[in-house]
Structure 1
């Protein structure tokens, strides 16, 4: 019965996909990528994808390995209304499905979420002619290239979203964002829980931030401060900066973050002191070819008994692809050296090929996955720092509104994996077809 229901649901998805594609091509040009009505006062858009994934020999915290296949799909429908100048009302609905549930292990992000509300917010731009933008409601928010605050748009089925509000003050090429956010924790997949996620579950919201962006210099300068007040007696203050720019054929991106506060471990409330940084420089050799080198570091805890907590927390970052597309690593207890090439042989075809080399900053600490879960840990601290290398190849092909993605990754297990359990090389691949309008 379950298999029959699964087939019926998939058939409904394909039927909806084909019908919407047909009507959208009748009503607007493919280059616009959106439906507009009432003199552009109402815009309708969306995205659908179907993805097949295969994982082989993924490492688990108990020292074992697992293999798994996943067929997933996601449908997003968005509506944006501009009833008057400067006022925007935005609504996004989402339906995420995992057609291969159950899995041999619990993956640390939501694969399956029935038709539900993803975004619902109001934005007011330049009220009374003032250089301000104000917003409030449920919204997808991104800062620091998703390293600290992100949404995972384009990857995870159930994109991360936040309840909150913000105020942006603009003057020339300088902007200052003030915001308060509360990450939405979706209910477990249950049809009775549609549209039933808690709104503003913790008031005042637990994350406060200020973000300054200045482009008056030859380089773009960003300075930020964040305060994350959590329920479990954990509090994190994070401050830092980002410098980025381009000169001729060269480009660079450099970021730094320092954390302090407290972390509750058992009955102990430890003093938090941690930091992280990244740097990337690239060369556009030709218009169709770019070479780059990236280095990522995040501190780890070298002594769990010294009363200090030194593991950097990537907070609400959505880091798929930042530290390898196999999602084995997060911005925590990490050294990652990553040279890569990006080729664009045709205007609609992009190929990325790179090799990550991974070490733990402190072998006494854990190896953390992209979703902040413990991948492996050596309680003795005697294991090697060298975790391994990941070879990634990603191809993206765009056909106006339709796109294709194909990825293949191979992880060469290093000494740390051998020291902490089963250690075969791991493999991951996926194919995806999507449509955006």
Structure 2
């Protein structure tokens, strides 16, 4: 690609030319001042890992590393057009040279085995045409979150479920990693009071763990395209949104062909429902999601399905406002490796850190995840979350799969973890407990800490026969502020 800088400068020039005819009574500089805003977010995070390990391995299962990311953006916004540009500087310290497992290993290998890579990257640069009798169009370097196309002005609980529990299941920005992920392409559609129809198509960028080339290159042969039809809340059922979606994934990189034998071409079709309703002394919320896949996983015929069901209740008038949630997530695994069908659900390019345990051991492929959440608000500036997961493989004929999608041309993006020689696939992986604490210390300072422990069972022991327990601890400080409008 020509580079995000080219896109950004071109879009800014177009916006300036388009609006230079503004009223003679107002100078161009004054007109710009009334339509410009921006912001900066600086993030510091330290992660300490004590990971799984294979027997008789000389790898290091205990390591820590430090990450810094500073993002800045500027928006030019008028009634029918807006221009958005975002850049970031990233720097890492102390990646492990011989790690046993976890993101430290992925960062180190994705950056020519450097322990402290850094870079400057253009994250987003797009022009957005809007308020055109319901039609809208966006093009350039952009973020995209499947399922999150529609939010509501007066439904904060419904918005929370959409943003935190629905969006990015298949296509996401993956911003937990240092680099994040973006898409070079476009999206557009039509929206009114009753429904929203959205289409998108894009190349996926180098991203995630690849600091050297992340957001400077496209995965030119990884393409996602598709769309969603959303029936807005209140149209069919009060406080309930329905969505029908279809997304297509294409990948013919060398790692994909080496794994699957040919191009990967998968079409995912599904439906979702989210709702939030007052009930008794609080509110009840729900999320349902179902999808099936057809296409080609290399030389095999893709035939897979997945579903998610969640139910929650928050006591809104009780101290700490306890919010209790339960859920199950199922993604099929291949039942017969000898036939011509491939039954393992393919996860595409999601943001999996949000979903299947914060230790990021598991993708939404060949998995059954039973989980619960306890969300507490002991103070208006403090949030406490406690989550528990139990994991099984959906099929004992398919291995344990982890990852969150492709991030460069060298790695497939998903790890297929075979048992060590002499061991069979075991379905029960174990459980995970996640504890997160967030404190808004100042207007422009947010402090966070988290701890996760994975209690490995026989499914983990079959793969990591040396150490089947995992611990992860992180601390994070974020300094955000905005300028302008």
TM bucket normalised to smaller: 0.7 to 0.9
Task: Give the aligned partner of residue 57 of structure 1.
Answer: 51
Whole-Å separation in 1 of the counterparts to 2:84 and 2:141: 10
Residue deviations 1:151-205 (CA, integer Å, cap 9, x gap): 023x111010000111120121310001112111259645xx698424x835xx8
Residue deviations 1:34-64 (CA, integer Å, cap 9, x gap): xx99554111112111101011023579988
Instruction: Tell me the CA shift for residue 226 of structure 1.
Output: 1.1
Task: Give the aligned partner of residue 372 of structure 2.
Answer: 339
Task: Give the aligned partner of residue 143 of structure 2.
Answer: 140
Task: Give the aligned partner of residue 419 of structure 1.
Answer: 462
Secondary structure, in 3 states, of the residue corresponding to 2:461? helix
Task: Give the aligned partner of residue 182 of structure 2.
Answer: 161
Task: Answer with 73-82 or 109-118: which moved more.
Answer: 109-118
Q: CA RMSD in A?
A: 2.5
Name the TM-score, length of structure 2 as normaliser.
0.75
Task: Give the aligned partner of residue 195 of structure 2.
Answer: 174
Task: Give the aligned partner of residue 474 of structure 2.
Answer: 430
Task: Indicate how the Cα distance of structure 1 residues 146 and 329 shifts in structure 2: closer, same or farther if over 3 A, else same.
Answer: same
Gaps of 5+ in 2: 1-29, 112-116, 148-166, 258-262, 405-412
Please say if residues 220 and 245 of structure 1, whose CA atoms lie closer than 8 Å, have aligned partners that are also in contact: yes
2:69 aligned with 1:69:
no
Task: Give the aligned partner of residue 24 of structure 2.
Answer: none
Residue deviations 1:112-150 (CA, integer Å, cap 9, x gap): 5501111010001123xx211111000011113111000
Given candidates 47, 67, 70, the residue that maps to 2:41 is: 47
Residue deviations 1:53-92 (CA, integer Å, cap 9, x gap): 011023579988722211111111101112x421111100
Given candidates 123, 139, 154, the residue that maps to 1:118 is: 123
Q: Number of residue pairs matched?
A: 389
Whole-Å separation in 1 of the counterparts to 2:382 and 2:416: 34
Task: Give the aligned partner of residue 390 of structure 2.
Answer: 357
Whole-Å separation in 1 of the counterparts to 2:242 and 2:55: 40
Whole-Å separation in 2 of the counterparts to 1:229 and 1:62: 39
Task: Give the aligned partner of residue 217 of structure 2.
Answer: 197
Whole-Å separation in 1 of the counterparts to 2:275 and 2:241: 6
Q: 5 Å matches for 1:245-256? A: 245-248=275-278, 249-256=283-290
2:236 aligned with 1:217:
yes
Whole-Å separation in 2 of the counterparts to 1:157 and 1:74: 7
Task: Indicate how the Cα distance of structure 1 residues 168 and 62 shifts in structure 2: closer, same or farther if over 3 A, else same.
Answer: farther
Task: Give the aligned partner of residue 152 of structure 2.
Answer: none
Whole-Å separation in 2 of the counterparts to 1:412 and 1:353: 16
Please say if residues 55 and 467 of structure 2, whose CA atoms lie closer than 8 Å, have aligned partners that are also in contact: no
Task: Give the aligned partner of residue 8 of structure 1.
Answer: none
Instruction: Tell me the CA shift for residue 380 of structure 1.
Output: 7.9
Please say if residues 166 and 179 of structure 1, whose CA atoms lie closer than 8 Å, have aligned partners that are also in contact: yes
Whole-Å separation in 1 of the counterparts to 2:48 and 2:303: 38
Residue deviations 1:314-344 (CA, integer Å, cap 9, x gap): 1010110310011011111101110120000
Task: Give the aligned partner of residue 301 of structure 1.
Answer: 334
Whole-Å separation in 1 of the counterparts to 2:306 and 2:292: 7
Name the TM-score, length of structure 1 as normaliser.
0.83
2:391 aligned with 1:396:
no
Task: Give the aligned partner of residue 373 of structure 1.
Answer: 414
Task: Give the aligned partner of residue 354 of structure 2.
Answer: 321
Task: Indicate how the Cα distance of structure 1 residues 45 and 281 shifts in structure 2: closer, same or farther if over 3 A, else same.
Answer: same
Gaps of 5+ in 1: 1-35
Whole-Å separation in 1 of the counterparts to 2:93 and 2:445: 22
Whole-Å separation in 2 of the counterparts to 1:62 and 1:247: 54
Residue deviations 1:285-332 (CA, integer Å, cap 9, x gap): 234110000111101112222111111111010110310011011111
Secondary structure, in 3 states, of the residue corresponding to 1:320? helix
Task: Give the aligned partner of residue 429 of structure 2.
Answer: 387
Whole-Å separation in 2 of the counterparts to 1:290 and 1:418: 34
2:311 aligned with 1:281:
yes
Whole-Å separation in 2 of the counterparts to 1:37 and 1:107: 50
Task: Give the aligned partner of residue 452 of structure 2.
Answer: 409
Secondary structure, in 3 states, of the residue corresponding to 1:143? coil
Task: Answer with 337-346 or 366-375: which moved more.
Answer: 366-375
Secondary structure, in 3 states, of the residue corresponding to 2:326? strand
Structure 1 outlier segments of 4+, above 4 Å: 36-39, 59-65, 109-113, 186-190, 193-196
Task: Give the aligned partner of residue 134 of structure 2.
Answer: 131
Q: 5 Å matches for 1:94-105? A: 94-105=88-99
Given candidates 71, 84, 93, the residue that maps to 1:90 is: 84
